[in-house]
Amino acid sequence: MELTACKQCGTVVGMPEHLSPSQYRCPYCNALLHRRGQAFTDIIIMAVTTLLLFVPLTFLPVLSLNIMGIRSSATLFEALWQLYADGYHIIAVLSILTGLLIPVLMMVLLLLILVPIRLGYRPKTVALYYRIYDHMKEWGMAEVYLISIMVAIIKLSKMATLHVGLGLFVFVFFFLTFYITTVWFNPDDIWDEDAVAE
């Protein structure tokens, strides 16, 4: 029996040595204490898929507009970069970071954490990456960006003729694989391996 404490209410809880695949919840406040994650190899494959899907996003247009014969189209980056060019540096940097770069960095960090562990390195060597990942988690907003594209489409459809670009479909898949990767990853598993190694 190993003791742990609930992050949300501070109750000290004893966890069984061999965890069953079911979820463990705090007996006092019902917060999630433990759930089983997917195998590391699966997560690595998913993270690589997400990163590969990101590549076309850098050059495929998400939307193109047509007002009286003039066309304008933009990729996910260009749309946000225009703000920077207009002098709104803070908002531009903030949206590019939260909407695109942090999700991508999270995938890179996951690979930096999981690949060495899979190759047999001690979890302590990747602990720093995990801490950075943990800090970033709150700030990745790919899903908000995705929904905002939908809202923008509805808003713009009243102003101009719209063509949805291939980039939008790729972005939907990018978000889905990103989401699956983060859900599959259970940080407890990193340290579980540690116990085996010792």
Partner 1 sequence: MRLPSDIELGKALCLHCEKLHPVTRHTCTRCGAPVHQRIPDSIPKTWSFAIASMLFLIPANLLPMMIVNSIAGKDAGTIMEGVLYFFHHGSYGIAFVIFTASVFVPFFKVTVLIYLLLIVHFGWASRAMQGLKLFRIIHFVGKWSMLDIFVVALMVGLVQFGGLATIVTGPAALTFAFAVVMTMLATESFDSRLLFDIGRKREAAAMNKTIHEGKRDGK
- Site of interaction with partner 1 (CB under 8 A): 3-5, 7-13, 27-29, 63, 65, 67-68, 70, 72-74, 78-83, 86, 88, 90-92, 94-95, 98-99, 123-124, 127-128, 130-131, 134, 138-139, 141, 144-145, 147-149, 151-152, 154-156, 158-160, 187-188, 190-191, 194
For residue 128, the number of C-alpha atoms closer than 13 Å in the C-beta half-sphere is 1
User: Residue 131 CB, nearest distance to partner 1 (Å)?
Assistant: 5
Task: Choose between 47 and 123: whose C-beta lies nearer to partner 1.
Answer: 123
DSSP string, 133-145: HHHHGGG--HHHH
User: Residue 172 CB, nearest distance to partner 1 (Å)?
Assistant: 15
Task: Choose between 15 and 115: whose C-beta lies nearer to partner 1.
Answer: 15
Phi, psi of 4 (to 5 degrees): -140, 175
Residue bearing tokens 């979820």: 23
User: Residue 18 CB, nearest distance to partner 1 (Å)?
Assistant: 18
For residue 12, the number of C-alpha atoms closer than 13 Å in the C-beta half-sphere is 3
Looking only at the bridges linking them, the beta strands covering 32-34 and 63-67 are: unpaired
User: Residue 111 CB, nearest distance to partner 1 (Å)?
Assistant: 18
User: Residue 55 CB, nearest distance to partner 1 (Å)?
Assistant: 21
Task: Choose between 49 and 182: whose C-beta lies nearer to partner 1.
Answer: 182
Q: Is 2 within 8 Å of 14 (Cβ atoms)?
A: yes
Cα distance from N-terminal residue to C-terminal residue, the chain: 17
